[in-house]
Amino acid sequence: MVPRRSWVEQVMGLPISVLARGDGAESEVAEAAVRGVYAELVEVDRVFSPYKADSAVSLLARGEVGWDGVDPVVREVAERCVAARELTGGLFDAQVPGGTWDPSGLVKGWSVERAGARLREVDDVDWCLNAGGDVLVVCPSKEPFTVGIQDPRDTGRVLASVSRTGGAVATSGTAARGAHLYDPRSGGAVESRWASVSVTGPSLEYADVLATAAFVAEDDWPEVLTALRGYEGLGILADGKLFATPGWGGG
């Protein structure tokens, strides 16, 4: 039986789990890589959380610091948010109603993708990193992991699944937090007949951005995914019916 080991910690206000599979899963090298992942994500949360009073995002929102007074990584993320807005035709925007800047919709995917570089350095281990339903897969063995897609109507049930030997799966919708997404074009909450949109692709950063933008786009969501090559989607309607783009399931 192939050795496996798992970890889970609460970071960014959500459970982040890591599953290791392979001969080196129980090694000190694997342990060090995972601890490095968690340490990096804790630091990202310290800098970018809008819920921490001393984060860069909160200081910027209160006007206590300007863009020239924040760490370069904050300016890098701001540039990535601008690029994401341009990529999605304004469907993704870190400028939220009220005029404040909240990069949360990009930061989770970006930070997990970046932290995942530590896992890629461990050659004899397959990895599945799950950050609150957004998943990064690294499989040197080329043996896939099966990633479940949650039923938005029943969070304890898996409605679909997709096999991946690498890359990412990201989901945006109303299951976890209700109608929390807004349409940057109108400034109002998104009210859609779609309960969720899941996106697969090479990068978790872009899969996450495209999933958010696709959900905002409502019935036009499949068109959003054509902005980048290699990204496919699965939409779940409020009644539980599924609709997949042609390349969904390729992993």
In a domain, 249, yes or no: no
Q: Write down the pLDDT at residue 204.
A: 98
Compute the average pLDDT of residues 94-113.
Answer: 92
Rounded Cα–Cα distance for residues 224 and 209 (Å): 10
Compute the average pLDDT of residues 144-171.
Answer: 93
Q: Write down the pLDDT at residue 11.
A: 95
Residue 175 — very low, low, confident or very high, per pLDDT cuts 50/70/90? low
**Residue 223, domain extent:** 4-244
In a domain, 251, yes or no: no
Residue 10 — very low, low, confident or very high, per pLDDT cuts 50/70/90? very high
pLDDT tens for each residue of 40-60:
999 999 999 999 999 999 999
In a domain, 139, yes or no: yes
Residue 46 CA, chain-centre distance (Å), reads 18
Q: Write down the pLDDT at residue 63.
A: 94
The model carries a pTM of: 0.93
Q: Any residues with CB less than 8 A from the CB of 187 and at least 6 apart, and which? A: 97
Compute the average pLDDT of residues 91-106.
Answer: 90
Residue 177 — very low, low, confident or very high, per pLDDT cuts 50/70/90? low
In a domain, 51, yes or no: yes
In a domain, 250, yes or no: no
Q: Starting from the edge strand earliest in sequence, which strands make up the sheet with 166-173, in order?
A: 4-11, 14-21, 126-131, 134-138, 166-173, 194-201, 232-237, 242-244
Q: Are 243 and 221 in contact (CB under 8 A)?
A: no
Number of structural domains the chain divides into:
1
CATH number of the domain where residue 131 is located = 3.10.520.10
How many C-beta neighbours within 10 Å does residue 243 have?
15
Place of tokens 């074009």: 185
pLDDT tens for each residue of 184-209:
887 777 778 999 999 999 999 999 99
Statement: residue 178 has pLDDT above 60: no
Residue 105 — very low, low, confident or very high, per pLDDT cuts 50/70/90? very high
Instruction: Work out the mean pLDDT of the chain and round it to a whole number.
Output: 93
Q: Write down the pLDDT at residue 176.
A: 53
Name residue 73's amino acid. V
